[in-house]
Amino acid sequence: MKLLVTGAAGFIGSHTAERLRELGHEVIGIDNFSPYYDIALKKLNAEALAEKNIEVLNLDLRTADLAERLPNDLEYIFHFAAQPGISSACTFEDYFSNNILGTQCLITFAESLPKKPYFINIATSSIYGLEATFPENVAPKPASWYGVTKLAAEQLVLAKTREKKLQATSFRLFSVYGPRERPDKLYTRLIDCGLNNKPFPLFDGSEKHLRSFTYVQDIVDGIVSVFGKEEICNGEIFNLGTETESTTAQGIATVEEILQTKITTEMKPPRAGDQSRTKANIDKARKLLNYNPQTTLKEGLEAQTEWFKNNF
């Protein structure tokens, strides 16, 4: 099949593109190479994809003529492109433009194709709000611009399934980590600080936060499990993540164990909109997709540490 991956030079998008190629599909990637974090990392990811015959086109969903630049016989779209995370450096307009307008532009493109592709939307546990421990049928209560705009993007996609104009599924991801994790995320920062003797910026109170830290390949397992199950997945939302909870303090201790060093911390004020607890309720994914994440936190962090040492 011919597949499109948006945000293909990013963290989870690049891993998914590789897996799709390994499954024998023709994969086309697009990314706008946003400077939200060091573009060199995205270029490194794109180079890794190029070695596996996956081209990543430099395109912005909001401004590019997608119909001109992309093939019209796509069978699947995997939509990762977004303004990610909770950052004081990002404005509401950043989140609105990337997450809502960008998604709508991609939907418009998908609807224009002669044969409508199956649309996989990548959402987030931030949709649930300050605590993300619920099944998919619980009313969302997002508490950040990121969560609000990702919920809106999800509903734009699912509205098309209700109108029967597209087939689509939305996956809500929980606390993903692993090789290629963004430099602003917890474990890349921790590993960097541990290896380079730098203080780790820790938001006050966050050491007690509980997370379903989920290894990226376990996330990709869930995303690709939709193949062959399109009929039961159409119009549905699935949580993807591990059911195992760990505190941020436990995560820090695990990195210290792997690096065999003590990481000093530098306390920062609490971050508005930060979740106090995430625990992936994956009953639905387990039942319908046979989803069963297996990677332990230590196993995943050992792989991420090795990646960091090899690339930085």
If we measure between CA atoms, which residue out of 62, 148, 160 comes closest to residue 119?
A: 160
| Distant-in-sequence, close-in-space partners of 42: CB < 8 Å, separation ≥ 6 | 9, 10, 31, 33
Tokens coding 96: 């609105």
**145: Cα separation from own chain's centroid:** 16
Active-site residue flag, 146: yes
From the list 218, 201, 228, the residue with the least C-alpha distance to 288 is 228
Identified catalytic residue from 37, 146, 177, 187: 146
Q: How many residues does the chain have?
A: 312
Contact, 304 vs 239, CB < 8 A? Answer: no
CB 308 within 8 A of CB 194: no
Q: Which helix (H) or strand (E) holds 86?
A: none
Nearest in space to 49 (alpha carbons), one of 9, 20, 77: 9
Q: Of 206, 311, 309, 202, nearest to 259 (Cα)? A: 309
Q: What is the spatial distance between Cα 91 and Cα 276, in angstroms, rounded to a whole number? A: 23
Q: Report the run of H or E that residue 167 belongs to, with start and end.
A: none
CB within 8 Å of 293: residues ≥ 6 apart? 214, 215, 218, 219, 221, 222, 240, 241, 242, 243, 282
Instruction: Show the CA angle centred on residue 180, arms to residues 192 and 191, nearest 5°.
Output: 15
Report the relative pairing of strands 76-79 and 246-247 from DSSP bridges: unpaired
Q: Which residues are part of the catalytic machinery?
A: 146
